[in-house]
């Protein structure tokens, strides 16, 4: 086999997602025949100690506190942004201007206009982009999409989606970047995942009616100062799809006891699907084709028939984990960089999700249904 070209990574941020991306790169390199040899080149963080510690533990050759110098380094091919949301735009635009491919965590930017600017800049510069909507990389979510597209459920009538966790349930928890009045809140943070999944399964949302609620009105910031919280802790939206189906979504980051309820239910005239991310190696399928008296939801367990599960494990039921979704995300992205496929979820798709989030906020503010731009 010919020697593969290197793809030199510059990572910004070494927190939850920074580490998850490195695990994703590492597992992807073992599980898939990637078109590139991944080189962990430089890692950037605000503190030198954090950057150095991450470089040593995660295997980067260099550590820096200067992300600007890193993104213009000619030795870097791909800039990977896992910093807080408000920094995504500036970092991505700088990387795009330097001709780098850009992998950026969701939400792509606090505002849809910024996300659009980023998508347009990437298209104009001809670089390949990816946004971290990792739940779409689950082989069983893809199976659900395929079953819906193939008509196994008949005509889809209704959709229910939710993304609920409890990481903001404690009122004594600090004011973080996720509470930033420009683009923060539960719907931007996790409702974005729910919206991406809803459209991946049922196609475009054309109209929606939102309702957003702030439950915990103040939080202390890092300096101990009390800060007002203006963003939503809970958001809901009624949805109308271009297909004619209707549905609803809830985003809730104060859902006590919930750790990862990225769930959906899809109902059709001939069947139904139920899925929970807390048991994401299972998909539940009900079919009206089953004999009367034998009907019920059957549990489909993930296995090698559900590609690319078999790249990680030959045995069904042994289960994939969160970081393996990141590895699948990385593999699809690298194939797109190599020109083997279209961007799986590039900046244009990230802009679309941000547009939907803004529609939910606008509808909640105005107390009225809104038409989603672009449809
Ligand atoms: P985090 O706080 O754990 O990590 C953020 C990192 O960015 C920290 O290491 C911080 O020091 C660093 N950072 C901040 N400012 C910086 C700067 N100027 N230069 C360099 N580094 C800087 O946060 P997180 O939970 O990893 O979230 C980061 C991003 O990932 C957010 O956009 C978030 O929405 C997204 N996220 C996505 C998922 C997912 O499932 N796809 C899950 C969690 C978070």
Domain ranges of the chain: 6-134, 138-318+343-370
Is 0.75 surpassed by the pTM of this model? yes
Residue 289 Cα to ligand 1 midpoint, Å, equals: 47
The position carrying tokens 């083997």 is: 340
Contact (Cβ atoms closer than 8 angstroms) between residue 240 and residue 207? yes
pLDDT in tens, 140-183: 999 999 999 999 999 999 999 999 999 999 999 999 999 998 88
* Concatenated DSSP letters of 31-77: HS--SSEEEEEEEE-SSHHHHHHHHHHHT-SEEES-HHHHHT-TT--
pLDDT digits (tens, 9 = 90+) for 7-43: 999 999 999 999 999 999 999 999 999 999 999 999 9
Taking phi first (over 0 means left), then psi (-120 to 50 degrees means alpha), and beta for anything else, what does residue 326 get?
alpha
What is the predicted pLDDT for the residue at 233?
Answer: 98
Give Cα separations from 296 to 154, 270, 271, 275, 304 (angstroms): 17, 13, 10, 15, 25
Q: What is the CATH topology of the domain spanning 138-318+343-370?
A: Dihydrodipicolinate Reductase; domain 2 (3.30.360)
CATH number of 6-134: 3.40.50.720
Which residues, judged by CB distance below 6 Å to any ligand atom, belong to the binding site of ligand 1?
A: 12-18, 44-46, 67, 82-85, 87, 105-106, 132, 134, 189
Spatial CB neighbours of 160, under 8 Å, sequence gap ≥ 6: 247, 248, 249, 264, 265
Residue 249 is inside which H or E element, if any? strand 246-252
Atom 12, ligand 1: residue with shortest CA distance: 13
Mean pLDDT of all residues in 215-235: 96
Residue 329 near residue 134, CB atoms below 8 Å: yes
Q: What is the DSSP letter of 307?
A: T
- Residue whose C-alpha is closest to residue 95's, from 111, 131, 71: 71
What pLDDT band is residue 375 in, cutting at 50, 70 and 90?
low
Handedness of CA 343, 345, 346, 348 (dihedral sign): positive
- In the numeric block, which tokens belong to residue 359? 């529609």
pLDDT at residue 1 above 80? no
- Per residue in 180-211, pLDDT (tens digit) is 988 889 999 999 999 999 999 999 999 999 99
Distance 331 CA to ligand 1 centre (A): 21
**pLDDT level of residue 2 (50, 70, 90 thresholds):** confident
- The residue whose CB lies within 8 Å of the most ligand 1 atoms, and thus the one to mutate among 10, 66, 69, 83, is 83
Output DSSP code: residue 174. P
| Residue nearest (by alpha carbon) to ligand 1 atom 21 | 45
* Coil, helix or strand at residue 207: strand
């Amino acid at each position: 086999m010919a020697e593969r070209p290197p793809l030199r990574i510059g990572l910004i941020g070494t927190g939850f997602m920074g580490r998850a991306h490195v695990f994703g790169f590492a597992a992807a390199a073992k599980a898939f025949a990637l078109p590139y040899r991944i080189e962990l080149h430089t890692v950037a963080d605000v503190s030198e100690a954090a950057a150095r510690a991450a470089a040593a533990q995660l295997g980067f050759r260099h550590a820096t506190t200067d992300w600007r110098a890193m993104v213009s380094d000619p030795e870097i091919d791909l800039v990977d942004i896992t910093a807080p949301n408000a920094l995504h735009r500036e970092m991505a635009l700088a990387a795009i201007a330097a001709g780098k491919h850009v992998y950026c965590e969701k939400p792509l930017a606090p505002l849809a206009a910024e996300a659009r600017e980023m998508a347009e800049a990437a298209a104009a510069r001809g670089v390949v982009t990816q946004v971290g909507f990792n739940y779409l990389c689950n082989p069983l979510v893809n199976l659900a999409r395929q079953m819906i597209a193939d008509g196994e459920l008949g005509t889809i009538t209704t959709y229910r989606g939710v993304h609920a966790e409890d990481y903001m349930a404690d009122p004594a928890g600090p004011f973080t970047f996720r509470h930033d009045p420009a683009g923060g809140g539960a719907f931007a943070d996790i409702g974005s995942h729910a919206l991406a999944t809803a459209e991946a399964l049922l196609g475009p949302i054309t109209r929606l009616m939102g309702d957003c609620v702030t439950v915990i009105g103040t939080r202390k910031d890092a300096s101990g100062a009390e800060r007002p919280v203006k963003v939503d802790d809970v958001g809901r939206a009624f949805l109308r799809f271009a297909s004619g189906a209707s549905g609803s979504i809830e985003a809730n980051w104060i859902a006590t006891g919930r750790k990862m309820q990225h769930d959906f239910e899809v109902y059709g005239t001939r069947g139904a699907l139920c899925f929970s991310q807390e048991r994401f190696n299972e998909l539940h399928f009900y079919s009206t084709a089953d004999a009367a008296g034998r009907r019920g939801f059957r549990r489909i367990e993930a296995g090698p028939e559900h590609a690319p599960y078999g790249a990680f494990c030959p045995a069904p039921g042994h289960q994939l984990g969160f970081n393996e979704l990141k590895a699948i995300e990385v593999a699809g992205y690298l194939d797109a960089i190599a020109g083997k496929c279209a961007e799986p979820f590039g900046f244009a798709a990230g802009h679309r999700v941000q547009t939907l989030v803004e529609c939910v906020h606008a509808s909640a503010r105005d107390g009225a249904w809104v038409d989603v731009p672009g449809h």
